[in-house]
Structure 1
Amino acid sequence: MIRRRFVNIVAENYKSGMCSLHRLDVSKHLFYPSTAEAAAAAGGGKAPQAPPIPTLQRLPPPCMSFPRPHTMGFFASEGRILRCSLAGHSLLYDADSDSIGTMPSSQGFTGITPKIISTGQPGALEEDLYVLHDDGFDVLRFGPEDRLVYRPMGRKAWHWESLQRPPFDNIIGSHSVVDGGRTICVSSSPDGFGTYCFHTVEREWWQGGCWVLPFVGGAEYVPEFKLWLGFFPTNPYHLCATRNLSVMEDLIAMEKPPTLHTLSDLDTPKNWSALRFKLLNLGGGRFCVAGVFEEIVGYTEDESDGFSELEAVRPEFAVLTGVELVTDSSSGDAKLEGFQIVSHKSVRYMFMEDRFKWEL
């Protein structure tokens, strides 16, 4: 599988509200040249004291700037970024060619926080972008507008299609793409509707079970190892993995949530409070763990009642960490049936004049 070269960061200026797109070179900031060098830097599994995370003084020069959009979608080829306004108007920016193309407007207002799910893998030539929102369910796809009518070669274009509304109205807690992109699974919170699946070919919803996916947010698939990676649903949101989401038949047969295995993750100080996490699939078993934190000054933990006390909270900051899933070796103790996660480099960026809005 093709590996991504960049992590796309959309930063918003505190004063002007303008957004800018920056592309962070992962080979320079997040990964060592080899897995062996990453393992050696980590002490060869001897668990040394973690060195301070270096601070990124400034972001790479912006590729483009634009007013704050309603939301942003992302295509798995890493360079194509979809910008949507509150009115539904869309633009597609190709960072590789530094070009902008107009896109068809969406079917209507997609809400403040729509759930955007891509069915493609990094490096994929074609993929669809599914949008779950308060008023319905739509897909942005490239092809003939009527899938049942033959069109001559070259008569394809980007267009929106309305899909069958989901048979639930609760807030989505987690989601994943399974069965080679043919099935989208979405789960509620633990006390919600359970798990429903959407078949992208038949375009039908069906109930997977009363259980929920054991992640928070989106889980990413690693085809080389047939694993799904995501974040544990409770603090401190460790990186976890499961195998039992391979094909639709497995989902139908399941009567309980798939087994979750905790993997090693960024060892953050106790006075760092996590605000949100994002897992970016870079391809080839490599990922970027993007976290936004706030640092609590004067943090104390009262052993008598189990509560923590704080004096002040410093400005927010982001930490980006490169991790790699590899075949198991004698180093490391975070193993999952022959595989382990290896942490490479981390970088910290303080939110002074701007802040991260999206990591793509």
Structure 2
Amino acid sequence: MSRAIESTMRQSRQFVNLIMTNLYNGAKSLHFVDLKRQPLFKTPLPPTASTDGDRFETQDAFSQTQPTESLVLERLRLPRPSFQFETSTAQDRSWYINCLPLSDRVVFCSDQCGHNFVVDGIARCLVTMPSLHKRKMMPLSIFIPSTDVEGGGSLFLVDRSPGITATRVEFESLVYRKASFSNTYSWQAQLLPPAPYPLYTSYSWQAQLLPPAPYPLYTKISSYAVIGGGSHICLSVKNEGTYCLDTTRHTWSKVGTWTLPFDGKVEYVPELKLWFGASADRQKLAATDLSYLSSTVDSATGFQPEVLGSWMELTLPEGWEQKGRTQLVNLGSGRFCVARFLNEMFDPYGSGYVLLTGVEIVPHFDNLTGNDVSSGSGDGSKGKLKLQIIPHKSRVYMPTTALALIQDVF
């Protein structure tokens, strides 16, 4: 199973994972959308210009190559479920199961009791995992492949927001490594030092001329990213600041009182040497450079990263509005699947539409006149380096019943 994870990390992804709700609480199904059968891209990936030694502009970094109105909108045909599973029984009926990404067609699942398993769509099997030290109500996961163990790696887990029973922010990992009592490799649970940010937010309601909240306001992770080639995990906590975890030494550092200008996971694209995510303000596709953070973690002198640009990949159909956060799937080679959860305006029950859009990001140089987009200008000067955003196809899922909704796309 770990070899399957390693192989899919090396190449562009062919599948997008869909997590569907089921007929009753605590049951879900996993569907793999084959992008060869239901493509989100109209053209093959063009060659990209080298970015070595070049910097992107800090303003108007995104340029559009075609109007959003020309996007091809097609229906997403939901494939048959590859796996169906349900949680173990809970006496208090608080049944739930969380599904988190490991890689292409490999999904980590954890229920309300802390029981864990991995669904491997490549090997077509289910593998049990060690139980967590403390269950996670709203977990996020970050997988970092190992450079020492072939097919190994660490899956870091933390709650987005601590629950009412929490006494500290628990951070733990599942590590694939050699067992101490044998020469075989297996997944092992490891409890890490707790996150240094507080359980409750220090946000001052009085300073905002608002009445104090009648209940504790728990801190919440607003965005997160992997930096330094996997050496650190960067977490932004709303109203508190940004913290980094050293994935080797398991030590924490606070890099600033600011937060990353994103919502949710921020993806690194090595071809562009930039990080991409959904902007915190308007859920637009945005880019930034976080490379400096890995060198300033220990000195705590990090400054807030600058957004290079934000851009909407399409105009929503009339009468539709977005609900919930945008989910971004990194398909490799500068390509993304942008998932937006929509409903029709004035629909009290919610429509549960999901729109998947294929987006391609390539660097290009714009000469001084701005009329020619190429890898160089006629006078031998490269000009200004920008990001060329190419939207391709959009596919929409329109459920036939409120019991069969897409919950996550990764």
* TM-score normalised to structure 2 length: 0.72
> Out of 18, 28, 32, which is 1:9 matched to?
18
Distance 1:359 1:314 in 2: 18
Instruction: Kindly provide the amino acid, as one letter, of the partner of residue 261 in structure 2.
Output: P
TM-aligned CA distance change 1:45 to 1:285, over 3 Å: closer
Instruction: Kindly provide the amino acid, as one letter, of the partner of residue 75 in structure 2.
Output: T
User: Is 1:30–2:40 an aligned residue pair?
Assistant: yes
Runs of 4+ in 1 over 4 A off after TM superposition: 14-17, 310-314, 329-332
Q: Which runs of 5+ in 1 are unaligned?
A: 37-43, 297-309
Please state how far the C-alpha of 1:17 moved relative to its aligned partner.
6.2
Distance 1:161 1:48 in 2: 47
SS in 2 for 1:180: helix
> Out of 84, 97, 107, which is 1:65 matched to?
84
SS in 1 for 2:229: helix
Distance 2:154 2:41 in 1: 29
Distance 2:26 2:132 in 1: 24
* TM-score normalised to structure 1 length: 0.81
User: Counterpart of 1:261?
Assistant: 309
Instruction: Kindly provide the amino acid, as one letter, of the partner of residue 139 in structure 1.
Output: S
Instruction: Kindly provide the amino acid, as one letter, of the partner of residue 387 in structure 2.
Output: F
Kindly indicate whether the alpha-carbon contact (under 8 Å) linking 1:290 and 1:320 is maintained by their aligned counterparts in 2: yes
TM-aligned CA distance change 1:193 to 1:312, over 3 Å: closer
User: Counterpart of 2:407?
Assistant: 357
Distance 1:145 1:263 in 2: 47
User: Is 1:106–2:106 an aligned residue pair?
Assistant: no
Please state how far the C-alpha of 1:256 moved relative to its aligned partner.
3.1
SS in 2 for 1:173: strand
TM-aligned CA distance change 1:351 to 1:234, over 3 Å: farther
User: Is 1:319–2:355 an aligned residue pair?
Assistant: yes
Moved more, 62-71 or 175-184: 62-71
Kindly indicate whether the alpha-carbon contact (under 8 Å) linking 2:242 and 2:255 is maintained by their aligned counterparts in 1: yes
Distance 1:120 1:346 in 2: 31
Kindly indicate whether the alpha-carbon contact (under 8 Å) linking 2:335 and 2:360 is maintained by their aligned counterparts in 1: yes
TM-aligned CA distance change 1:25 to 1:253, over 3 Å: same
Distance 1:179 1:19 in 2: 35
Provide the aligned C-alpha RMSD in A: 2.7
- The number of residues matched between the two structures is 324
User: Counterpart of 1:300?
Assistant: none
SS in 2 for 1:315: coil
Please state how far the C-alpha of 1:231 moved relative to its aligned partner.
0.8
Kindly indicate whether the alpha-carbon contact (under 8 Å) linking 1:140 and 1:159 is maintained by their aligned counterparts in 2: yes
Kindly indicate whether the alpha-carbon contact (under 8 Å) linking 2:285 and 2:312 is maintained by their aligned counterparts in 1: yes
> Out of 132, 135, 141, which is 1:116 matched to?
141
Q: Which runs of 5+ in 2 are unaligned?
A: 1-9, 47-63, 88-95, 200-218, 366-371, 375-383
User: Is 1:179–2:251 an aligned residue pair?
Assistant: no
SS in 1 for 2:295: helix
Which of the pair has more CA radius of gyration? 2
User: Counterpart of 1:291?
Assistant: 340
User: Is 1:49–2:69 an aligned residue pair?
Assistant: yes
SS in 1 for 2:405: strand
Instruction: Kindly provide the amino acid, as one letter, of the partner of residue 102 in structure 2.
Output: F
